[in-house]
């Protein structure tokens, strides 16, 4: 047998023993079958015949490189010249691309390619009797355990020439002391004829030798077969056994001498890989940082501001990763703007303050140019309030633009005229408004067919059925929840003028739960679906929630809440129709009698006199923009400034809904429900003349029966059988 020849690979061979160091035939090679994900050790005592390249199955069209090598009939010498410049790891990866390339690379005629590639990159030669292909796959193939093929095994065992996970080592390795007891009937040189390792755990090395149990068992069977031949007196059996033993011992010694070379190379290789990865990471970080710097320079920032931002906080690899790259870039732009703003505030403070003053003057003039009748329109409410104007990025960038540029009131007026300059301008806000209104109107029309779709914008805005809510505060409890804001117009006005937040910054959405409660009230009052908020306010009705039960008060009385329509709607949405409830009761109201309604009005106190509250403004000029006055003051202004002798509401004087227009729900006296009356006695309790018989309500006696007299269920208690009711 030619010792320099490379073994061919039998795809039908199986890995019959743990590490593959011993088989029945006791020779050394490896198989890489087309059905396996990685090489598995397999040993044979002679080299299989080499398969010519012409006998390799032809490609069926899959794989670009396969078509190049086969369809175009590339000569073998050109293929060898091309492939020998690849690293062994790249050849292993290339062999996994398609069956055609795999068959070509595994053919014996391409063994010089693997050998030249290994020698070119300083990789140690394979251990004795291990092929070049098997050695490359062992070093650069998948890092999986060769025994269980399930767990990762990144660190190879150079002594056993395979990869083993910690669990497989724990279950299958036997130390030298245990071998003496488990294999005491075997040949004394058994342990010298199989490979061993000094690494039982992942990295820790020791002086104790550990053997693979299956290797010991298989070698024991082989030795016993030779001993049987010797005992049978077969000619030459003793010489064959001695030659076999010497070859096995020589093989183990050769592998043991090869281990330090592999360990030294692996340490150097891992160090070089770490250096390469560090260099690649540094180059990648440098490229990303250069992109950031160029982007910020393109936006007009100074180089010293940019470098200050980049040096202030080190960017992590996660910040520069593809999935967070754009977010990081936007964050750096904002931080650079902040640094520029802080620098200009210190070096050009008076100039910046003058620009802010000019901006406020120009914005005030722009807002006052809007007719007062449009102050409740969506176009006006979409404008940002003056306190939040400088929070808009585009406005802030314009204020802190080139200090050499002269910016006055005229320039700021021109800037404000462009609707895109406000970032969230009227056009965008109007689109959001249309989306809100169309979604709400569509829901109302689909639920309540009598709702008219052809009404105007103002009527649609004031429609009681179109209930909206700030979704961020929908689950909040009073007093933080704005429980007087159920209609869209009131929400817009109060949030815009009160909280100073423009429409694009609000999380408004149509609230079907509140609309359902409003629809129940409209049905109770026999009003059409197009009823407005003002019309419901004018009815001044009081309602009782039928879902709520009367509560007992100290002194023996009973009480319930008396609601106006708005508090009734919000009470149902918050207390009886939580978003997380799987099932909720539909709204059920009843009108209070005149006597109970009068009692509620007395407890509410005097009704709010809207005329005395500063929530009125002139319909002819912008005098009262954010300077609301009582009705009498506005009436005097209209007479004096505009010469109107008899000012009329809605014609000359307008109202801005910015204050509460109804009190909270109040508690009024009521009668208990029949099941709440305390007049029931339990018939199952024994009579005791010393103790007073306990009296229950119907609810209480049923609860008493279900707890004290189990297993009687709550609903099984029958009057006259389990309890009696006194007159």
The predicted structure's pLDDT at residue 635: 92
Kindly report whether the peptide bond that precedes residue 658 is cis, defined as omega within 30 degrees of 0: no
CB 172 within 8 A of CB 157: no
529 versus 61: the higher-pLDDT residue is: 529
Q: What is the pLDDT of residue 382?
A: 66
428-442: string of b/e by CB count within 10 Å (b at 16+)? bbbebbeebbeebbe
The pLDDT tens digits of the residues spanning 61-81 come to 334 445 555 554 566 677 677
Task: Give me the chain's average pLDDT, please.
Answer: 75
Neighbours of 709 (CB within 10 A): 13
* Confidence (pLDDT) at 320: 79
Q: Which helix (H) or strand (E) covers residue 89, if one does?
A: helix 88-94
Burial 611-633 (b: 16+ CB within 10 A, else e): eebbbbbbbbebebbeebbbbee
Check pLDDT > 70 for residue 16: no
pLDDT tens digit string along 371-401?
Answer: 888 887 766 776 777 777 787 777 888 888 8
Measured between alpha carbons, how far is 636 from 647 in angstroms, rounded to an integer? 9
What residue has token string 């009704």? 607
* pLDDT for 418 beyond 60: yes
Instruction: Say how far apart CA 477 and CA 218 lie, in whole Å.
Output: 77
Q: Which residues pair with 31 in a beta bridge?
A: 40
pLDDT at 169 exceeding the cut of 90 = no
Instruction: For strands 589-591 and 543-545, give the pairing.
Output: antiparallel
Segment 577-590 shows an average pLDDT of 71
**What's residue 63's pLDDT?**
43
**pLDDT of amino acid 376:** 74
Q: How confident is the model at residue 478 (pLDDT cuts 50, 70, 90)?
A: very low
Write the CB contacts of 73 (distance below 8 Å, at least 6 apart in sequence). Answer: none
Whole-structure pTM value:
0.47
User: Is pLDDT above 70 for 502?
Assistant: no
Q: What's residue 473's pLDDT?
A: 47
Residue for token pair 């202004």: 637
> How many Å is the Cα radius of gyration of the chain?
45
Lowest mean pLDDT among 3-7, 96-100, 447-451, 506-510: 3-7
What pLDDT score was predicted for residue 637? Answer: 93
Q: At 40, give phi and psi (nearest 5°).
A: -125, 140
Average confidence (pLDDT) over 354-371: 86
The pLDDT value recorded for residue 436 is 66
User: Strand pairing of 551-552 and 173-175?
Assistant: unpaired
Cα-based distances in Å from 15 to 23, 40, 107, 158, 528: 9, 6, 20, 19, 85
Which of the four pLDDT bands, split at 50, 70 and 90, describes residue 636?
A: very high
Q: pLDDT confidence of 4, banded at 50, 70, 90? A: very low
Q: Is the model's pLDDT at 486 over the cut of 50? A: yes
Q: State the pLDDT confidence band at 470, using cuts at 50, 70 and 90.
A: low
pLDDT at 649 over 50: yes
Does the pLDDT of residue 585 top 50, yes or no? yes
pLDDT, position 75? 67
Res 32 pLDDT > 50:
no
What pLDDT is stored for residue 71 in this prediction? 52
pLDDT of 506 > 70? The answer is no
Confidence of residue 26 (pLDDT cuts 50, 70, 90): very low
Q: Quick one: pLDDT band at residue 23, thresholds 50, 70, 90?
A: very low
pLDDT digits (tens, 9 = 90+) for 82-98: 777 788 888 888 888 77
Say whether pLDDT at 214 is over 50: yes
Q: Which tens digit of pLDDT belongs to each residue from 52-62?
A: 333 333 434 33
- Alpha helix stretches (DSSP H) within 299-425: 303-312, 317-320, 322-347, 349-368, 378-381, 393-399, 409-417
Residue 638 pLDDT more than 70? yes
Is residue 481's pLDDT more than 50?
Answer: no
How remote is the C-alpha of 359 from its chain's centroid? 41
Enter the tokens of residue 165: 């996970």
Find the helix packing angle between 76-83 and 111-120, rounded to 10°: 20
Question: Cα 301 vs. chain centroid, distance in angstroms?
Answer: 34
pLDDT at 366: 83
- Are 667 and 562 in contact by the 8 Å Cβ rule? The answer is yes
pLDDT higher than 50, residue 278: yes
Range from 312-326, 411-425, 644-658, 687-701 that averages highest in pLDDT: 644-658
Band the pLDDT of 186: cuts 50, 70, 90.
confident
pLDDT for res 188:
83
Each residue's pLDDT tens digit, 306-344: 888 888 767 777 777 777 778 888 888 888 888 888 888
Mean pLDDT of 643-670: 80
């Amino acid at each position: 047998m030619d010792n320099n020849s490379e073994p061919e690979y039998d795809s039908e061979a199986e890995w019959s023993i743990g590490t593959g160091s011993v088989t029945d035939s006791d020779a050394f090679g490896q198989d890489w079958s087309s059905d396996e994900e990685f090489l598995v050790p397999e040993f044979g005592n002679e080299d299989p015949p080499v398969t010519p390249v012409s006998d390799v199955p032809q490609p069926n069209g899959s794989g670009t490189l396969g078509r190049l090598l086969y369809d175009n009939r590339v000569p073998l010498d050109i293929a060898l010249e091309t492939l020998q410049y690849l690293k062994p790891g790249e050849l292993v990866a290339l062999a996994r691309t398609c069956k055609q390339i795999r068959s070509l690379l595994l053919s014996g005629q391409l063994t010089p390619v693997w050998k030249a590639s290994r020698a070119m990159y300083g990789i140690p030669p394979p251990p004795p009797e291990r092929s070049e292909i098997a050695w490359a796959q062992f070093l650069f193939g998948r890092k999986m355990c060769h025994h269980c093929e399930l767990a990762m095994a990144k660190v190879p065992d150079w002594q056993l020439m395979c990869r083993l996970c910690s669990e497989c080592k724990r279950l299958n390795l036997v130390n030298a002391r245990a071998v003496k007891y488990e294999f005491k009937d075997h040949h004394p040189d058994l342990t010298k004829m199989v490979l061993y390792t000094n690494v039982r755990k992942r990295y820790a090395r020791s002086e104790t030798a550990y053997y693979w149990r299956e290797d010991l068992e298989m070698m024991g069977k082989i030795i016993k077969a030779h001993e049987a031949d010797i005992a049978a007196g077969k000619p030459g059996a003793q010489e064959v056994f001695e030659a076999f033993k010497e070859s096995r011992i020589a093989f183990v010694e050769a592998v043991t001498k090869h281990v330090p070379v592999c360990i030294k190379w692996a340490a150097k290789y891992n160090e070089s890989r770490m250096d390469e990865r560090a260099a690649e990471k540094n180059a990648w970080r440098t490229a990303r940082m250069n992109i950031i710097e160029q982007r910020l320079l393109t936006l007009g920032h100074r180089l010293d501001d940019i470098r200050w931002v980049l040096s202030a906080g080190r960017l992590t690899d996660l910040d520069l990763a593809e999935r967070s790259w754009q977010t990081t870039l936007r964050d750096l732009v904002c931080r650079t703007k902040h640094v520029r703003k802080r620098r200009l505030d210190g070096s050009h403070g008076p100039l910046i303050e003058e620009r802010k003053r000019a901006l406020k003057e120009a914005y005030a003039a722009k807002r006052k140019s809007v007719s007062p009748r449009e102050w409740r329109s969506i176009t006006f409410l979409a404008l940002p309030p003056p306190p939040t104007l400088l929070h808009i990025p585009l406005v802030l960038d314009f204020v802190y633009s080139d200090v050499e540029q002269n910016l006055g009131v005229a320039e700021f007026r021109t800037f404000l005229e462009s609707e895109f300059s406000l970032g969230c301008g009227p056009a965008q806000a109007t689109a959001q408004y249309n989306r809100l209104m169309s979604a709400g109107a569509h829901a109302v029309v689909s639920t309540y067919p009598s709702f008219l779709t052809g009404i105007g914008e103002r009527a649609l805005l004031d429609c009681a059925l179109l209930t909206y809510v700030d979704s961020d505060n929908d689950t909040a409890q009073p007093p933080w929840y704005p429980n007087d804001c159920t209609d869209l117009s009131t929400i817009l006005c109060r949030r815009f003028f009160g909280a100073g937040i423009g429409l694009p910054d609000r999380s408004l959405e149509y609230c079907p739960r509140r609309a359902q409660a409003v629809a129940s009230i409209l049905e109770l009052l026999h009003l059409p679906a197009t009823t407005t908020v003002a019309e419901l306010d004018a009815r001044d009705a009081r309602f009782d929630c039928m879902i709520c039960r009367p509560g007992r008060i100290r002194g023996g009385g009973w009480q319930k809440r008396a609601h106006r329509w708005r508090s009734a709607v919000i009470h149902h949405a918050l207390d009886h129709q939580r978003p997380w409830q799987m099932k909720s009761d539909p709204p059920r109201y009843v009108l209070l009698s005149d006597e109970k309604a009068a009692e509620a009005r007395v407890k509410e106190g005097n009704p709010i006199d809207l005329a005395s509250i500063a929530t009125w403004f002139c319909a002819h000029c912008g005098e009262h923009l954010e300077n609301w006055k009582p009705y009498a003051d506005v009436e005097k202004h209209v007479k004096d400034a505009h010469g109107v002798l008899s000012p009329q509401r809605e014609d000359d004087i307008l109202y801005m809904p910015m204050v509460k227009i109804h009190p909270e729900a109040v508690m009024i006296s009521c009668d208990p429900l029949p099941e709440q009356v305390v007049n029931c006695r339990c018939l199952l309790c024994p009579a005791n003349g010393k103790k007073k018989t306990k009296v229950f309500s119907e609810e209480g006696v049923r609860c008493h029966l279900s707890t004290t007299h189990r297993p009687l269920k709550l609903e099984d208690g029958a009057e006259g059988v389990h309890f009696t009711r006194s007159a």
